[in-house]
Structure 1
Amino acid sequence: MQRCDWAGEDPIYQAYHDTEWGVPEYDSRALWEKLILDGFQAGLSWITILKKRDNFRAAFAGFDPHQIAEWGEADVLRLLSDPGIIRHRGKIEAAITNARAWQELEAREGFDSFMWRYVDGVPLQPGFATQAEVPPKTALSEQVSKDLKKAGFKFCGPTITYAWMEACGLVNDHILTCHRHDPCAAMAR
């Protein structure tokens, strides 16, 4: 079975690749959770986040943005002492800020609608033949990043944003020979 090169030999990575990565995500809260996790990944490997994802979900109240938006310094300190997650004050504070920004966007137009309009509701299908062709960011991810920051989000630079767009299926960057390319392409609404 052919996979994208980045999935490697780690069973956790392979399971993520085979079941989640590139599958179009249309749920506002789930999109937000993935954006937060991609922000925590900045400067680290994605496998680190995958291995800690259940700990993150427990520490961050199941990634309920309404609950997290109410958090303050006591919660930041609690999270900074939690060895099960990435203990980075800036990223923790950004998650709280991003919960508040998500609430505003969700109330105004829906976070899912806000995000999916960038691709007119249909995942982009670049059709890369090799992993080397897949860019770390694009003009579109730069625009999405800029707009997210304008809406009050943090830790959402263009590289993080592009990785998030790939993970959430806004862009199908499974290489053409990957066994997941065609099934993910077929999932587009």
Structure 2
Amino acid sequence: MPAIFPLNGKPNAVVTLGDKKALMEHGLSEGLNMSALARRAGVSPETITNWRLDIRQAHVASQKPKRQPARLTATPPKTAPISTPKKEAPMPQPKPRLSREEKIAALETQKREGLNNREAAERAGVSGPTWSAWKKDLGYVCAPVAQKAPEPATQPASAPVAAVLRQVAITRPDGMKIEVSMTAEEIRALVA
């Protein structure tokens, strides 16, 4: 391990590229992982990772060929023939936006057919977040599934029923008691 290490307590220590390489070689020869090497060197594991990147970049830079200086010649250099530019792939066309009525129809289809959000979004050709945004924007304004209306209770015509009020007491789970006066017809409509 290079003499500069460990760095514990050495503020502003200058670590050269050679020191970094020597430390990495030491770690490899000892079979140390990055955390153990960082502990021995007195630095954080992130610093070791950054030093590895520094070494790699220096190696790549040293492998690049050196540029040759320009030479003045009496004959002009040959130029490459002009090539036609490559055709770029066409930009994908945005999907047509659906009208409010079309969105509502899709939401009603989901409700009518009992589809979950993923299935309904796939069927409509949109993403899940778009589907959720539609539901939120429209307040899920879908007509409820057609239900059979309850038949009105019929009373015998011979005996007119007086509107007799009955006391109804409801106790909520939190202990609050609600008392309401209702007619028999109102109670039937509430329970139905």
**Into which bin does the TM-score normalised by the smaller protein fall?**
under 0.3
TM-score, normalised via structure 1 length: 0.22
Structure number, greater radius of gyration? 2
Q: Which has the higher strand share?
A: 2
Q: Which has the higher helix share?
A: 1
Which structure carries more relative contact order (alpha carbon 8 Å, separation 6+)?
A: 1
TM-score, normalised via structure 2 length: 0.21
